[in-house]
Amino acid sequence: MNRAELCEAVAKDMKGTKAEADRFLSSLLKCLTKGLKKDKAVQLVGFGTFSVKKRAARKGRNPQTGETIKIKASRSVGFRAGKTLKESI
């Protein structure tokens, strides 16, 4: 399901317009992003938890040349499904 299909499904469920559903989705994503930028977990009870994971700097290997390279420390987003979501799938 892509964003357009999700907006259409939300609009149908809310009995609203696609524009309203798109504004809702945009607002939700913006709020999730703000919460994660503060290094906090965003928990949606019954759905799951989004959290920021830190990766330490490490050494890697260039697959084309075999040369050892340094990979910088980084942050990524992790998701852990909640109990209700796991049971519904």
Query: Residue 80 is part of which domain span?
Result: 39-89
Amino acid at 72: K
d(CA 63, CA 48): 36
d(CA 42, CA 59): 31
Cβ-contact 75, 38 below 8 angstroms:
no
**In 3D, which of 14, 54, 75 has the Cα closest to residue 28?**
14
Q: The tokens of 42 are what?
A: 């965003």
**Tens-place pLDDT, residues 22-78:** 999 999 999 999 999 887 889 989 899 999 998 999 999 999 998 999 999 998 999
Residues 6+ apart with CB under 8 A from 56: 73
Number of separate domains in the chain: 2
In this structure, are 43 and 33 located in the same domain? no
In this structure, are 29 and 43 located in the same domain? no
> Domain containing 52 — which CATH number?
4.10.520.10
Q: pTM value?
A: 0.72
